[in-house]
C-alpha cells in the first residue's frame, strides 16, 4: 500500500476520468424514503478481505461496490472529482486536516456508531481530528525495518540504526516504500531531525543523503514489497510492518529491527466524502467493521495495528506479539506520527523528485 506524500498534486482530473468512475461504481441513489441498496467504498488495496464484505452485504441486504486505490494522491484526486460518487473512503491521519480544510469530507454522526466505544483511548480524539468529528480509526502501521540474516551480507547485530542502511555492503539489497513522507521522514530522523521537519536546509541535507542511499535500493514498492522479500530479490526491507509479518507468514526468513532513532507510525481512518449519497449506510458499515469479531477477522487476514480493544481479545497472540506489527511497550512513547505540514509539502515533493531523478 502506498500512503505517499505529494498530497494534492494531480487533483485536476479530466471530465473523461470522472465519467469513467461514475460508470464504474454503480447506482447509489435513495428513493421513496428507503435506504439505498448500494454502498460505494473506496479503500487501499489488500485492506479488507472479501469475506468481510460479503458478511456486510448479507446482514444488511445491500451490494457493496468496492474499489481500491494505491496512493493518497489517487484517492484525493478521485474523491475531489467524484461529486459524491463515493460513500466511504480511507484517509491517513495527516491527510484528514487537509480534507477538512478543503471541505472534502462530511461530519460523522458518532451516535450511529455504537461500536466506537470499542476503540482504545490511544487512537481516538487525536490532534488531527479532535473529538473524531470527521474520522473513525480503522488500522495503522509503522515504517519497519527487517533483514534476512542468511542473505543480507552483514552481521545483523551491526544493524541498529537507520544510518546503517547506508552501508555499502547493502548495495542493491533493499526494497523500500515508494512513499516520500515515510522515506524522507526516515532520512530526517537519521540526521537527528523530526520526521515532520520543514526547514529547507534540513530537507536539502535529506535530499543529498537520499541520493547517497540510492545504490542500496533495489526497488521502491508500496503496493506489495513483501513479494520481493519472499522471493529472495530483496534481503532487507524498509516497509510497512504488516508487510514484514506477511512475508514471515509466507516463509520469508526476516528479523525485525527497531532502529535506535525510533519508529514512524501512521493510522488510517474512515471518512465520508462530501456529498456522499448513502451517508447513513456508510456509518452502518463503519459500525459493522468495529464489531469485535469482524475487526478481529480483518486483523487476522491483514495484520495491521488494530485499535479495537475488544477485537484484540480475539486476535492470535502470535500477531499481537510480532514487533513488526505492534511495537514493544518501551517503544510506544518514542513513536513519531506523520503530520500535516501544509504548504511545506511542496518542499518534500521537490526533494523526492530531484533525489529519485538523479538515478
3-state secondary structure labels for all residues of 305-344 = ECCEHHHHCCCCHHHHCCCCCCCCHHHHHHCEECCCCHHH
Give all domains of the chain, ordered by start, each with its CATH number.
38-140+268-328 (3.40.190.10), 141-264+338-357 (3.40.190.10)
pLDDT of residue 31: 36
pLDDT of residue 82: 82
Burial class (CB in 10 A: 0-12, 13-18, 19+), 247: buried
Query: Sign of torsion, CA 107 6 11 101?
Result: positive
Tell me the angle at which helices 292-301 and 279-289 cross, rounded to the nearest 10 degrees. 70
pLDDT of residue 13: 38
List the alpha helices (DSSP H) in 171-213. Answer: 180-190, 200-213
pLDDT of residue 3: 55
pLDDT of residue 359: 73
β-sheet bridge partners, residue 217: 174
d(CA 157, CA 182): 24
46 is an annotated ligand-binding site residue = yes
Number of neighbours of residue 267 by Cβ within 10 angstroms:
24
- The model's pTM: 0.86
pLDDT of residue 65: 96
Q: Which three three-digit cell numbers place residue 287?
A: 459500525
Distance of alpha carbon 310 from its chain centroid, rounded? 22
pLDDT of residue 248: 96
pLDDT of residue 137: 98
Query: Sign of torsion, CA 234 235 241 246?
Result: positive
pLDDT in single tens digits along all 359 residues of the chain: 655 444 544 443 333 344 344 444 444 444 334 455 899 999 998 799 999 999 999 999 999 999 998 788 789 999 999 888 999 999 999 999 999 999 999 999 999 999 999 999 999 999 999 999 999 999 999 999 999 999 999 999 999 999 999 999 999 999 999 999 999 999 999 999 999 999 999 999 999 999 999 999 999 998 889 999 999 999 999 999 999 999 999 999 999 999 999 999 999 999 999 999 999 999 999 999 999 999 999 999 999 999 999 999 999 999 999 999 999 999 988 999 999 999 999 999 999 999 999 87
pLDDT of residue 90: 97
Amino acid at each position: 500500500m502506498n500512503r505517499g506524500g505529494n498530497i494534492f498534486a494531480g487533483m485536476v482530473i479530466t471530465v473523461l476520468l470522472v465519467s469513467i468512475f461514475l460508470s464504474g461504481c454503480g447506482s447509489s441513489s435513495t428513493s421513496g424514503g428507503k435506504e439505498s441498496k448500494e454502498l460505494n467504498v473506496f479503500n487501499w488495496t489488500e485492506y479488507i478481505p472479501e469475506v468481510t464484505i460479503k458478511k456486510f452485504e448479507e446482514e444488511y441486504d445491500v451490494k457493496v461496490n468496492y474499489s481500491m486505490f494505491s496512493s493518497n494522491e489517487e484517492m484525493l484526486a478521485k474523491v475531489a472529482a467524484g461529486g459524491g460518487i463515493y460513500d466511504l473512503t480511507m484517509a491517513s491521519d495527516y491527510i484528514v486536516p487537509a480534507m477538512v480544510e478543503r471541505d472534502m469530507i462530511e461530519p460523522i454522526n458518532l451516535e450511529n456508531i455504537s461500536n466506537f466505544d470499542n476503540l482504545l483511548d490511544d487512537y481516538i480524539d487525536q490532534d488531527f481530528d479532535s473529538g473524531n468529528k470527521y474520522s473513525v480509526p480503522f488500522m495503522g502501521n509503522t515504517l519497519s525495518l527487517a533483514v534476512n540474516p542468511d542473505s543480507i551480507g552483514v552481521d545483523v547485530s551491526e544493524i541498529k540504526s537507520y544510518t546503517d542502511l547506508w552501508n555499502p555492503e547493502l548495495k542493491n539489497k533493499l526494497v523500500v516504500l515508494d512513499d516520500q513522507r515515510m522515506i524522507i521522514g526516515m532520512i530526517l530522523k537519521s540526521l537527528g531531525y523530526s520526521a515532520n521537519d520543514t526547514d529547507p536546509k534540513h530537507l536539502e541535507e535529506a535530499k543529498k543523503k537520499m541520493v547517497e542511499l540510492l545504490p542500496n535500493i533495489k526497488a521502491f514498492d508500496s503496493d506489495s514489497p513483501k513479494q520481493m522479500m519472499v522471493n529472495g530479490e530483496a534481503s532487507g526491507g524498509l516497509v510497512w510492518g504488516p508487510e514484514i509479518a506477511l512475508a514471515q507468514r509466507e516463509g520469508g526468513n526476516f528479523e525485525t529491527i527497531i532502529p535506535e532513532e525510533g519508529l514512524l507510525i501512521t493510522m488510517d481512518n474512515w471518512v465520508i466524502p462530501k456529498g456522499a449519497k448513502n451517508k447513513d449506510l456508510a456509518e452502518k458499515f463503519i459500525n459493522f467493521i468495529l464489531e469485535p469479531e469482524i475487526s478481529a477477522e480483518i486483523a487476522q487476514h491483514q495484520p495491521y495495528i488494530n485499535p479495537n480493544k475488544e477485537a484484540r481479545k480475539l486476535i492470535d497472540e502470535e500477531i499481537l506479539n510480532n514487533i513488526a506489527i505492534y511495537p514493544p511497550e518501551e517503544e510506544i512513547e518514542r513513536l513519531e506520527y506523520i503530520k500535516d505540514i501544509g504548504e511545506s509539502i511542496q518542499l518534500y515533493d521537490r526533494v523526492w523528485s530531484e533525489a529519485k531523478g538523479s538515478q
